[in-house]
Structure 1
Amino acid sequence: MKKIFWLFALLPLQLFSQNLKLWYEQPAEHFEEALVIGNGTQGATIFGGTHSEKIFLNDLTLWSGEPVNANMNPEAYKYLPSVREALKNENYKLADSLIRNLQGKFSESYAPLGTLYLDFDTENVKDYYRELSLDNASVNIKYTEGDNEITRNYFYSYPDKVMVIRLSSKTAKGINFTLRFDSQLSHTVFTGKNQLLASGRAPTVAKPSYVKAGEEAVQFDSEHGTRFATQIEVITDEGKIKNKKGYIEVKNASEVMLLVSIATSFNGFDKDPEREGIDETALVDERIERVKYKTFEILKNRHEEDYRPYFERVKLTLDGAGTADEMPTDKRLKAYATGKVDKYLETLYFQYGRYLLISSSRTPKVPANLQGLWNPYIRPPWSSNYTMNINAEENYWLAENTNLSEMHQPFLGFIENLEKTGSVTAKTFYKAKGWVCHHNSDIWAMTNPVGDFGKGDPVWANWAMGGTWSSTHLWEHYMYTKDKEFLKNKAYPLMKGAAEFCLDMLVKDKNGKYVTSPSTSPENVYVTDQDYKGATLYGATADLAMIRELFMDIIEAVNVLGGDYDFKNKLEEVLVNMHPYQVGKDGSLQEWYYDWKDNDPKHRHQSHLYGLFPGRHINMDETPGLAAACKEALEIKGDETTGWSKGWRINLWARLWDGNRAYKMYRELLRYVEPDATRPKDQNGGGTYPNLFDAHPPFQIDGNFGGAAAVAEMLVQSTPEKIYLLPALPDAWATGSIKGLKTRTGLEIDLTWKDGKLKSYTLKGTPGTQTTITYKGNSKTVKLENGSLVGGI
């Protein structure tokens, strides 16, 4: 075996002087304080303990259940005419009751794979330091034990598909620990030569945490479900390794390298993971065999050479940002909540969102979920599923504009899976063409309305626009990349199928205008003039906004691809005759067909503002009246809301070109929130945990992604024809620069500004590309002659 060479102890200053990092002076006690790493499929949550190190392990493909039976309620469509008749008669109470017949099962749950423990006999610890370097995608820990300096280093490699942990001691033979593994899942642990191994399987059933299910909440079956395997190789140059029953002891080592390989039997959304699954045991063994003779430096270099080109594409610099070393991240966050100016923290949060996306979204057709990929719970909040009425989509708002298009691919590929199950759901629940997805989905591409076959409240169970919303991401990807083959062969057929379903959901109202029937507005409740509080109606603004956006995308796609003009003409006819946006007597954009009140005027969802963001058909240039109505709706809702919702509202204010309001809410998104175990019961507002995870609360990663996307939106906005420079620049960011953002023109852009004024911009892209640059109401058309252009206004 090759000797492991250690540079870490010789170069501590170099390793611990990264520009972008989260750092702390103590180990984590709670999940919301721990630091996370991942390679886009597997991930680890690292606590950094000195007496006992705890590392949660996750694999993005480890879920409860097995392939969904999309034909679970084959005659549900028979109830649709009666629901529509009730709505036509404006009997909303009856409609709310009848629509429960159009429900199916709950989604499955994302599962925690297990926990790795390193138990040390440690005393007299001082000078503790723990960091997550965004520049290197690594966690680094050092502390002094007596007279000895201990260092630990962690990263999760995408090219080698293993987690690498290095432990080193300045004093010879100063490393002693016990290595063990445990899991909440059905599992066994055993040892091989210098190896700790575990195998097990996910539950066949893991009911949502909000469902009271008693002992039946989690169920295992030895012949069903997704299997997992874990293999940890222990490598040391001089220490002694003792294999015990179910654990390993390492004694008197100066340095140790642990190689952690995990895998599951998941083989696709429509494959039985037990009978048609991948051989997960062979896979983990193969990965270990490929890397165990490589040095730490080689493995780390391969990891960084893969990661850095993605992360370094974008660089945000704010004048006066200070440095990372001024204050630990948790203290920094607390100080910021008191009003302290901290542009470094604001920059760090933006780049942390990009780091999290790279780390959690590199698995073909398996996107980042509600917690990215870091989940410690066997019944996680909201099953840690794909919540399709905002949260799954919000995860990917930063993918294109912050130059991480490759990380968008898992979500775009997942839409292909949804189309297959969704076509069955469209037929059996609505007797409709095309395909549909509802409120929740999971790794098995479940598309049915949820609610446990009639037990669910229609306010969340029956929303049917998940396919419509997600399909707009396909056109977004084309706009940023100009990948015509993708548009023709993948995006357009999926977009068309989603539109075909929408066409079958549209009926004409009493004025001869197209509206959806039935309809709900995500998780919000209306109050009629007769004081009925309900969810089911026809023509909810959110439905029509998403349908408008999708139809307009398809029309633009036909203009690019040619052909299919009959379908284009049909969509154009429907668009012209669709029930128009309405402005209520309070001046706000109506959420409901009628000018009804909201049961909760400050409700966290603002789905009826979809046309402003993430849609593009309401904007300051072309529809200023509707933009003003959106602004009034936001004023009524106020700024206090949950984490993910605040991330959305920041983007909305940016689209309204109000940089100072967007910045105010960005600061609020960074409001310090205690870990869940210690959080006061009355602290329910959104914000940020000590490890910079978004606090819904509890943790949901969509707020991190939405907040990061909003920073880019404040600095650059675009259409396929125009680029808006600094449209929502806040006064607080008077001087700075941004490099590497992407635009819907297909061009990359760099910007510099000083004292609130644009200094210069640089465009990069395909030679001959022409676009219009707009800054503070002034526009000019430019053309890239040689693939780049430097200019100013």
Structure 2
Amino acid sequence: MHSRYLLSLFIFLLSNSLFAQPLKLWYKQPARNWNEALPVGNGRLGVMVFGREDEELLQLNESTLWSGGPVKPNPNPEAKTYLPQIRKALADENYERATSLTQKMQGRYTESYEPLGDLVIRHSLSGKPTNYYRDLNISDAVATTRFSVDGVTYSRDIFVSAPDQIIVIRLTADKPGKLNFTASTKSPLRHQNIAISSREIGFNGKAPSHTDPNYVDYNPQPVSYDDASQCRGMRFAMRMRALPSDGTVTADTSGLRVSNATSIVLLISAATSFNGFDKCPDKDGKDEIKLVNNYLNAAARKSYTALKQAHETDFHSFFNRVSLTLNDNKDVALPTDERLMNYASGTVDPALESMYYQFGRYLLISSSRPNGTAANLQGIWNPHVRPPWSSNYTININTQMNYWPAEVSNLSEFHQPLFSLISNVSKTGYATSRDFYGTGGWTAHHNTDIWAESNPVGDLGKGSPLWANWALGGAWLSQHLYEHYRFTGDRNFLQETAYPLMKGAAQFCSDWLVPDKNGYLVTAPSTTPENVFVLPDGKKGEVSVATTMDMSIIRDLFTNVIEASTILNTDADFRKQISDKTSKLYPFKIGKKGNLQEWYQDFDDVDPQHRHVSHLFALHPGRQIAPLTTPDLAAAARKTLDTRGDGGTGWSKAWKINFWARLNDGDHAYKLLRELLRISGVEGTNYANAGGTYPNLFCAHPPFQIDGNFGGIAGMSEMLVQSHLDDIYLLAALPSQWQSGQVKGLRTRGGFEIVEMGWRDGKVNKVVIRSTIGGNCRIRVPNSLKASNNVALKPASGANPNSLFQGPTTSNAQSATQVYDFMTKAGQSYTLTMQ
């Protein structure tokens, strides 16, 4: 009896130690809905794992599976004829007429990201399941489901391999011959099930030629498949093969049946005919069946162990670059959903916060791979034919937010799909600039898609100008190009990729600007996504002149282009032209309430607590407003945030975390982080309009949008390390709740890596900095440091010409911090400790 008790105790302790791994999301029950399922992916293939016992559901995606086809040129030939009329109406302050005319300058809506299908695994079980457990190990990118029935323990392990481009599912029973199930596939798109052999099934299908956005309700056929030109509606294919096992396997078009097995591995391959944004996906498409078979045949020649080892080696090479410990990081031996419930009630759980940070990095690795597609509004995970907001690329904040953490969290390579998207959009954007506005360069608007749509969306006048006609999506996207250079110092990237694209965006902006009555250069028409103003007579307006967001983005772009052309020693004449125009841009204005003015005039807001705070772009992600350099404007930004309040959707809260971090207010940023992590979507949590986090740690817009996850961890990075000015500011916005901790692997602008930083009582006690490209390193810290390996530290006394940082000198701007310079060599690490 005593030995049995000890054995039971040992099993209990062992099980709980497994359950309590800090980098595992785990649960005591299956997912009841999609927002409780667990995501795995390799950037191209995605799976949502529900973890059901007798009828498992795996929802599948392939990142290139979209409706539609290449963009049709010049969808609104009359568009630019309205521009002079709009500008005349704005000069006359006839905002109502300006809005109605602007609405006439719209093209078509974007297309939609589509689901691939479902895999349903139906087990033959004779009893009630017990000892249920499921998890997502984000350290290894493997999802596991385990339960017992009649003394038999069943397990399912699922991962999506990037090296082998395959979904791998291993099913096991811990007693011989007890594994009996059927596996069937289906798709919500047009498809045909097929049986290839006794061990392989699949389907072939065709995506819609057009899918209306989910908010469009005026067309009788919102999803259509007819396209005689073969330029719209890509083909797709999926195959599932069972590898040899000890059981019996049979298959037909209804599914694959496994009998009397102990263990079996299923491989799933999928592909589409997508062959580029400008190629007809049907008649000029890739051979999707050949692609599927090549992936499947290559993977089938390998063992499960070899497939998993290759997957984990690849994943670890990225994920393991960064670690984060907050306070003691003491883990809580509770399921993730219960931890979230406790956290919402006020429980302190720093290990949950650090796991949330790593989960965001996990999602970026899993949804945005080099040479693949960029992460969309839902990453790569979407179950709907008409997904929320078409699951497209919303480029007035959301797509950009997806990539805010890429550089700082040491995932620079995963930024590359966005650069490819920008390049594609620029090509259609040149035509949009010419056809809609009669301007040079390239531009893009509120939305784009895999086909690189760049026109103002709205279905030829049915959309609202307050979002559809905002014309600076290309200018904002261009910031990411220069940020990649600022972090890496990659001169070849700057010269060959970034600068040409940035210059094209600047050419559009240069032509788009017009002088106002006072000689300032302004944008007209201009909107501020997605807010509305009130005129003195009580009327509402959407279209204005020189919104602060517009002017901030253009100022940011022009600054970056000037710096880049100087670094490359090219385009002196264009640089002077842009420099001259920069000096004439409509300036920032502080409103009557002490806030940063959002519009050309000091209008009131229709919704003073609107979720968008677009006019603070210069604070974040820009670098034109900062407490250290522009204290009056920073104070106005703070007043704006106080007025807007802390409410908002998931991504809105995430942006506000970044704003407050840039204002060096760590406690306010932390307050919003706790609100972002407030559990949503379960009983007793009704946060329909307040954002939050679902039980699977997906961000609740609501519904799910992945940008909130990415924006949230970008804000956490800003709380720990900032480098947007001319120094590396350590613990720039450290909240009082994170008085001790350690972070390893973060990157900064200037080509530096924080190999290790430890802090105690809010002060840095040790930092190891590695230089990747050499040059001057300037650090700002909350306490004095000394060099422990003969680093020649010196107080900063001015901008160093060898530094990649191009911002103003800030060495005396904040007396509470210490600022040091020291020269570095590429590849060398430097250790500094508390004095």
TM range (shorter): over 0.9
Separation in structure 1 between the aligned mates of residue 723 and residue 73 of structure 2, nearest angstrom:
39
Task: Name 2:799's counterpart in structure 1.
Answer: none
**1:355-411 deviation line (CA, Å, top 9, x unaligned):** 000000015362100000000000000000100100000000000010100010000
Structure 2 residue aligned with 1:655, among 662, 680, 683? 662
Q: Does 1:335 align with 2:342?
A: yes
Task: Name 1:7's counterpart in structure 2.
Answer: none
Question: Which deviates the most, 287-296 or 59-68?
Answer: 287-296
Q: Secondary structure at the match of 2:25?
A: strand
* Cα displacement (A) at 1:683: 3.0
Structure 2 residue aligned with 1:773, among 756, 760, 779? 779
Separation in structure 2 between the aligned mates of residue 73 and residue 260 of structure 1, nearest angstrom:
43
- Equivalent residues in 2 for 1:600-639 (5 A)? 600-639=607-646
- Whether the 8 Å contact between 1:18 and 1:135 is mirrored in structure 2 is no
Structure 2 residue aligned with 1:318, among 326, 340, 346? 326
* Cα displacement (A) at 1:334: 0.6
Structure 2 residue aligned with 1:229, among 226, 234, 237? 237
Task: Name 1:384's counterpart in structure 2.
Answer: 391
Q: Secondary structure at the match of 1:773?
A: strand
Task: Name 2:813's counterpart in structure 1.
Answer: none
Letter in structure 2 aligned against 1:73 = N
Q: Does 1:148 align with 2:152?
A: yes
* Cα displacement (A) at 1:604: 0.4
Separation in structure 2 between the aligned mates of residue 697 and residue 499 of structure 1, nearest angstrom:
35
- Whether the 8 Å contact between 1:767 and 1:787 is mirrored in structure 2 is no
* Cα displacement (A) at 1:17: 7.0
- Whether the 8 Å contact between 2:328 and 2:741 is mirrored in structure 1 is no
- Whether the 8 Å contact between 1:236 and 1:255 is mirrored in structure 2 is no
Q: Secondary structure at the match of 1:216?
A: coil
Separation in structure 2 between the aligned mates of residue 379 and residue 330 of structure 1, nearest angstrom:
29
Letter in structure 2 aligned against 1:275 = K
Separation in structure 2 between the aligned mates of residue 181 and residue 532 of structure 1, nearest angstrom:
55
Separation in structure 2 between the aligned mates of residue 277 and residue 13 of structure 1, nearest angstrom:
51
Structure 2 residue aligned with 1:367, among 370, 374, 377? 374
Task: Name 2:721's counterpart in structure 1.
Answer: 716
Structure 1 residue aligned with 2:735, among 705, 726, 730? 730
* Cα displacement (A) at 1:506: 0.7
Separation in structure 2 between the aligned mates of residue 535 and residue 175 of structure 1, nearest angstrom:
62
- Whether the 8 Å contact between 1:198 and 1:231 is mirrored in structure 2 is yes
- Whether the 8 Å contact between 1:115 and 1:183 is mirrored in structure 2 is yes
Q: Does 1:468 align with 2:475?
A: yes
Q: Does 1:544 align with 2:544?
A: no
Cα 1:61–1:407 change in 2 (3 A) is same
Letter in structure 1 aligned against 2:431 = V
Separation in structure 2 between the aligned mates of residue 401 and residue 363 of structure 1, nearest angstrom:
17
- Whether the 8 Å contact between 1:365 and 1:412 is mirrored in structure 2 is no
**1:484-535 deviation line (CA, Å, top 9, x unaligned):** 0110011001001001111111111111111111100001001111222011
Task: Name 1:4's counterpart in structure 2.
Answer: none
Separation in structure 2 between the aligned mates of residue 180 and residue 116 of structure 1, nearest angstrom:
6
- Whether the 8 Å contact between 1:40 and 1:360 is mirrored in structure 2 is yes
- For structure 2, which runs of at least 5 residues remain unmatched after alignment? 1-13, 783-816
- Whether the 8 Å contact between 1:236 and 1:253 is mirrored in structure 2 is no
Q: Does 1:514 align with 2:521?
A: yes
**1:524-552 deviation line (CA, Å, top 9, x unaligned):** 00111122201101110000000000010
Q: Does 1:285 align with 2:293?
A: yes
Separation in structure 2 between the aligned mates of residue 140 and residue 456 of structure 1, nearest angstrom:
44
Task: Name 2:437's counterpart in structure 1.
Answer: 430
Letter in structure 1 aligned against 2:596 = L
Q: Secondary structure at the match of 1:108?
A: coil
- Whether the 8 Å contact between 1:721 and 1:771 is mirrored in structure 2 is no
- Whether the 8 Å contact between 1:767 and 1:788 is mirrored in structure 2 is no
Task: Name 1:186's counterpart in structure 2.
Answer: 190
Q: Secondary structure at the match of 1:687?
A: coil
**1:228-269 deviation line (CA, Å, top 9, x unaligned):** 100101124210112233211110000010000011110110
Q: Does 1:105 align with 2:113?
A: no
Q: Secondary structure at the match of 1:619?
A: coil
Cα 1:202–1:681 change in 2 (3 A) is farther
Q: Secondary structure at the match of 2:216?
A: coil
Separation in structure 2 between the aligned mates of residue 528 and residue 245 of structure 1, nearest angstrom:
64
Q: Does 1:171 align with 2:178?
A: no
- Whether the 8 Å contact between 2:22 and 2:355 is mirrored in structure 1 is no
- For structure 1, which runs of at least 5 residues remain unmatched after alignment? 1-10
Separation in structure 1 between the aligned mates of residue 715 and residue 236 of structure 2, nearest angstrom:
37
- Whether the 8 Å contact between 1:35 and 1:139 is mirrored in structure 2 is yes
Separation in structure 1 between the aligned mates of residue 46 and residue 545 of structure 2, nearest angstrom:
43
User: Normalising by structure 1, what TM-score?
Assistant: 0.96
Structure 2 residue aligned with 1:757, among 739, 763, 767? 763
- Whether the 8 Å contact between 2:553 and 2:617 is mirrored in structure 1 is yes
Cα 1:406–1:15 change in 2 (3 A) is farther
Task: Name 1:495's counterpart in structure 2.
Answer: 502
User: Normalising by structure 2, what TM-score?
Assistant: 0.92
Question: Which deviates the most, 21-30 or 314-323?
Answer: 314-323
Task: Name 2:275's counterpart in structure 1.
Answer: 267
- Whether the 8 Å contact between 1:70 and 1:424 is mirrored in structure 2 is yes
* Cα displacement (A) at 1:121: 2.0
Task: Name 2:824's counterpart in structure 1.
Answer: 784
Separation in structure 1 between the aligned mates of residue 311 and residue 218 of structure 2, nearest angstrom:
43
Task: Name 1:119's counterpart in structure 2.
Answer: 122
Letter in structure 2 aligned against 1:314 = V
Separation in structure 1 between the aligned mates of residue 341 and residue 307 of structure 2, nearest angstrom:
37
Task: Name 2:3's counterpart in structure 1.
Answer: none
Q: Secondary structure at the match of 2:243?
A: strand
Separation in structure 2 between the aligned mates of residue 373 and residue 225 of structure 1, nearest angstrom:
19
Q: Does 1:693 align with 2:698?
A: yes
Task: Name 1:29's counterpart in structure 2.
Answer: 32
**1:174-211 deviation line (CA, Å, top 9, x unaligned):** 11101101111000111122001111011111101101
Cα 1:512–1:114 change in 2 (3 A) is same
Question: Which deviates the most, 559-568 or 595-604?
Answer: 559-568
- Whether the 8 Å contact between 1:766 and 1:784 is mirrored in structure 2 is no
Separation in structure 2 between the aligned mates of residue 314 and residue 62 of structure 1, nearest angstrom:
32
Report % sequence identity.
Answer: 48
Question: Which deviates the most, 783-792 or 701-710?
Answer: 783-792
Separation in structure 2 between the aligned mates of residue 261 and residue 103 of structure 1, nearest angstrom:
39
* Cα displacement (A) at 1:214: 5.5
Q: CA RMSD in A?
A: 1.5
Q: Secondary structure at the match of 1:792?
A: strand
Q: Secondary structure at the match of 1:732?
A: coil
Letter in structure 2 aligned against 1:781 = D
**1:563-615 deviation line (CA, Å, top 9, x unaligned):** 21111111111111111100001100000111110100000001100000000
Separation in structure 2 between the aligned mates of residue 673 and residue 231 of structure 1, nearest angstrom:
36
Q: Does 1:740 align with 2:745?
A: yes
Separation in structure 2 between the aligned mates of residue 48 and residue 747 of structure 1, nearest angstrom:
42
Q: Does 1:415 align with 2:419?
A: no
* Cα displacement (A) at 1:19: 3.7
Structure 2 residue aligned with 1:205, among 198, 201, 210? 210
Separation in structure 1 between the aligned mates of residue 78 and residue 828 of structure 2, nearest angstrom:
57
Letter in structure 2 aligned against 1:243 = A
* Cα displacement (A) at 1:297: 0.9
Task: Name 2:787's counterpart in structure 1.
Answer: none
* Cα displacement (A) at 1:688: 0.2
- Whether the 8 Å contact between 1:479 and 1:720 is mirrored in structure 2 is no
Separation in structure 2 between the aligned mates of residue 734 and residue 650 of structure 1, nearest angstrom:
18
Cα 1:747–1:681 change in 2 (3 A) is closer
Q: Does 1:160 align with 2:164?
A: yes
Question: Could you list the runs of 4 or more consecutive aligned residues of structure 1 that deviate by over 4 angstroms after TM superposition?
Answer: 11-18, 678-682
Q: Secondary structure at the match of 1:156?
A: strand
Task: Name 1:556's counterpart in structure 2.
Answer: 563
For this pair of structures, how many residues does the alignment match? 780
Letter in structure 1 aligned against 2:638 = K
Structure 2 residue aligned with 1:70, among 65, 68, 73? 73
Task: Name 1:61's counterpart in structure 2.
Answer: 64
